[in-house]
C-alpha cells in the first residue's frame, strides 16, 4: 500500500509539472513573465533599447551570455534597431514588427513569436529575443556563438582509407556534414525535442522517395514517446527506441564517421543525430551491419571479402573458444590429439585450480584490465594494460597459479573480440561467452550446443523496426544472401538495395 501511494504521489507531481509547463504557453509575452520564469540567473541579459532613439518605442532585448555571438548581435540586430532611419518614421509597434519581419533588420534567421514557450526555448537555445511588451509579441534572431569543438578525425573508428571527418557535439554542424556528402534535394532532416528539462534536439535524417515511410514514421513515433527529464546520454534514447530491451545485442548501429552514416542513409536506412553528442544512430540494423566497415568498399572485393570472413570467424572464436576449451578438457578428452593432451596435462598438473575456475578467473581479470584501461587517463591506462597482460600474466603462469594454455586461450579470445568493428556487438559477446563457459562446465559440448541453439533462437526472435535481426540469413526469401554478408561481391553485381528494408527505390544503379 505504501509503495502504491508513493507511485501515485510521483505521478501526481509529474502531472502537476506538465500542467504548469502547459500553462506557461498561455501566458502573455512580456518582459515580466520572462523574468519570472528565467528568475535571477546571472547569465541572462536584459537590455532596454529605444527604437531609433524614440522613448515612446521601447523594446527589451533578452539573450543568454555565452550562448550568443555578441558581435553578430550588435552589428546585425541592435545597431539597425537603433540607427535604421526607416524605423524612425513609424509610430506604432505593428508597423515596426512588420518592417522587421520583412528585413529592415537584416538577419537571415528571424521568427515572429506569439507563444511564450517558443520565446523561452529560442532564448535558451542561443537566440536574441526582442520583446514588445505592449503588443505581447516577440521576434527572435538566431545568433548562436558558443564555443564548439572543431571537426576532427574519428577516435573510436579509425579511417585507414577514407574520409577522416567525424561528428561533433553541435547538431547543425553535423547536419551540414551530411548535406555535404548527400547533395540530393530529397534529403530530409526532421527535428524533434526529447527531454522535458534538457530539451535536446534530435534530427531524423532520410531520403524521401527512397526510404520506407513506415520505418520513418515508427522512428518519429518512438522518439516522440520518450517521456524523460533529460536526454544527455545517447544510451537513454537508444534504450527507448529499440524493440527488444532484454537483449544484450545492439539493435541500432552507432557511428562517429560521417561517411558510414551517409552510406547507410543512401542504402535506405534512417539516421538519428542527437544534439550534444558526437555519435549518430542508424536504424534498422541487422546483425550483418555490425560486421561491416567503410573500408570494405574502399579495397578490392577479394581483399574485403577475406577480411570480412575473418571478422565472422573471430566473432565465433571470441564467443565459443573458452567454453570449447572447458568442454574438451573436462568432459571430452578423447577429442584432443595425444601430443597436445600430454602438453596440456603437464601444464595443468601443478595448477591447484580446476580448468573452469582458471578460465572464469582469467576472463574476469581480462574484463577488469579492459575497464581499467578505459577509465584511467590514457597514458596510465596503457601502462596498466601492459603491466596486467605481461607482468602479472607471466608471473601467475610461472607461479603455477594458472596454466600457460589458459593464458593463451584468453589472449586469443580477447584479440578475436577486438577484430569486430562494433564495440556494442563485442560487449554482448563478452557477456555471453561467460554464460557459455558455465554451460560447458555443466554438460560439456552438449551444454555448449544447447546454449548456442538458445542464442540462435533468441536472435531469430528479434526484429528491429520490422526488419528481422538475422536478415539476410533469415528469412530465406531474401535472395541477396551472397551479395554483401559473409563476403562482398563486386560493386557492379550489387545492383539492388537490401530487400528487407522495403525501400521505394530498390535499385542502386
Return the closest-CA partner of residue 286 out of 475, 32, 34, 39: 475
Q: How many domains in the chain? A: 3
Return the closest-CA partner of residue 506 out of 185, 212, 183, 188: 212
327 lies in the same domain as 414: yes
> Is residue 476 in some structural domain?
no
277 lies in the same domain as 327: no
322 lies in the same domain as 266: no
> Is residue 472 in some structural domain?
no
315 lies in the same domain as 455: yes
pLDDT at 271: 95
Contact, 435 vs 441, CB < 8 A? no
109 lies in the same domain as 193: no
pTM: 0.83
447 lies in the same domain as 381: yes
As a whole number of angstroms, the distance between CA 473 and CA 453 comes to 15
262 lies in the same domain as 310: no
pLDDT at 15: 38
> Is residue 382 in some structural domain?
yes
258 lies in the same domain as 311: no
> Is residue 72 in some structural domain?
yes
Query: Could you say which of 233, 258, 285 is where a domain stops?
Result: 285
196 lies in the same domain as 323: no
> Is residue 475 in some structural domain?
no
> Is residue 351 in some structural domain?
yes
Query: Could you say which of 426, 443, 464 is where a domain stops?
Result: 464
Q: Give the structural domain span for 448.
A: 299-464
443 lies in the same domain as 313: yes
pLDDT averaged per 10 residues, the chain (length 509): 38 38 68 87 89 84 89 85 74 79 78 88 89 90 81 82 87 92 92 87 93 94 89 86 92 93 94 92 93 89 92 95 93 86 82 88 86 74 64 75 87 91 92 94 93 94 91 67 80 84 84
pLDDT at 337: 87
276 lies in the same domain as 354: no
Length of the chain in terms of residues written: 509
> Is residue 509 in some structural domain?
no
As a whole number of angstroms, the distance between CA 334 and CA 104 comes to 89
The set of cell numbers assigned to 100 is 522587421
125 lies in the same domain as 218: no
Per-residue DSSP letters for 214-270? HHHHHHHHHHHT---S---SHHHHHHHH-S-TT-SS-SSEEESBHHHHHHHHHHT-E
> Is residue 153 in some structural domain?
no
Amino acid at each position: 500500500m505504501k509503495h502504491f501511494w508513493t507511485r501515485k504521489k510521483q505521478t501526481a507531481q509529474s502531472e502537476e509539472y506538465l500542467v504548469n509547463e502547459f500553462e506557461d504557453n498561455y501566458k502573455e509575452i512580456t518582459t515580466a513573465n520572462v523574468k519570472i520564469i528565467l528568475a535571477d540567473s546571472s547569465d541572462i541579459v536584459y537590455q532596454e533599447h529605444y527604437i531609433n532613439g524614440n522613448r515612446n518605442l521601447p523594446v527589451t532585448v533578452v539573450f543568454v551570455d555565452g550562448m550568443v555571438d555578441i558581435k553578430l548581435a550588435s552589428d546585425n540586430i541592435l545597431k539597425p534597431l537603433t540607427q535604421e532611419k526607416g524605423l524612425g518614421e513609424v509610430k506604432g509597434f505593428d508597423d515596426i514588427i512588420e518592417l522587421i519581419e520583412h528585413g529592415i533588420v537584416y538577419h537571415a534567421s528571424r521568427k515572429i513569436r506569439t507563444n511564450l514557450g517558443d520565446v523561452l526555448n529560442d532564448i535558451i537555445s542561443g537566440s536574441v529575443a526582442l520583446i514588445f511588451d505592449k503588443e505581447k509579441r516577440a521576434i527572435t534572431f538566431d545568433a548562436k556563438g558558443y564555443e564548439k569543438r572543431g571537426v576532427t578525425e574519428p577516435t573510436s573508428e579509425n579511417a585507414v582509407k577514407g574520409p577522416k571527418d567525424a561528428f561533433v557535439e553541435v547538431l547543425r554542424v553535423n547536419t551540414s556534414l551530411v548535406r555535404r556528402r548527400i547533395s540530393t534535394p530529397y534529403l530530409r532532416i526532421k527535428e524533434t525535442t526529447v527531454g522535458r528539462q534538457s530539451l535536446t534536439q534530435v534530427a531524423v535524417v532520410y531520403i524521401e522517395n527512397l526510404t520506407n515511410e513506415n520505418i520513418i514514421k515508427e522512428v518519429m513515433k518512438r522518439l516522440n514517446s520518450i517521456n524523460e527529464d533529460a536526454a544527455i546520454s545517447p544510451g537513454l534514447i537508444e534504450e527507448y527506441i529499440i524493440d527488444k530491451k532484454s537483449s544484450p545485442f545492439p539493435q541500432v548501429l552507432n557511428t562517429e564517421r560521417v561517411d558510414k552514416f551517409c552510406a547507410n542513409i543512401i542504402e535506405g536506412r534512417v539516421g538519428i543525430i542527437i544534439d550534444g553528442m558526437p555519435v549518430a544512430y542508424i536504424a534498422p540494423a541487422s546483425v550483418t551491419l555490425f560486421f561491416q566497415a567503410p573500408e570494405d568498399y574502399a579495397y578490392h572485393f577479394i581483399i574485403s571479402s577475406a577480411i570480412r570472413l575473418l571478422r565472422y570467424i573471430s566473432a565465433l572464436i571470441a564467443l565459443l573458444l573458452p567454453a570449447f576449451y572447458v568442454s574438451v578438457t573436462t568432459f571430452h578428452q578423447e577429442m584432443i590429439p595425444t601430443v597436445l593432451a600430454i602438453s596440456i596435462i603437464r601444464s595443468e598438473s601443478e595448477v591447484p585450480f580446476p580448468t573452469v575456475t582458471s578460465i572464469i578467473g582469467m576472463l574476469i581479470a581480462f574484463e577488469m584490465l579492459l575497464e581499467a584501461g578505459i577509465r584511467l587517463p590514457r597514458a596510465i591506462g596503457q601502462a596498466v594494460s601492459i603491466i596486467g597482460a605481461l607482468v602479472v600474466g607471466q608471473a601467475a603462469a610461472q607461479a603455477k597459479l594458472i596454466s600457460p594454455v589458459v593464458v593463451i586461450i584468453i589472449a586469443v579470445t580477447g584479440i578475436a573480440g577486438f577484430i569486430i568493428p562494433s564495440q556494442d556487438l563485442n560487449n554482448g559477446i563478452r557477456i555471453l561467452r561467460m554464460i557459455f563457459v558455465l554451460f560447458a562446465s555443466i554438460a560439456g559440448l552438449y551444454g555448449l550446443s544447447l546454449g548456442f541453439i538458445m542464442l540462435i533462437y533468441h536472435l531469430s526472435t528479434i526484429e528491429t523496426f520490422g526488419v528481422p535481426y538475422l536478415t539476410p540469413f533469415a528469412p530465406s526469401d531474401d535472395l541477396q544472401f551472397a551479395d554483401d554478408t559473409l563476403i562482398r561481391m563486386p560493386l557492379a553485381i550489387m545492383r539492388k538495395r537490401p530487400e528487407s528494408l522495403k525501400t521505394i527505390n530498390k535499385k542502386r544503379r
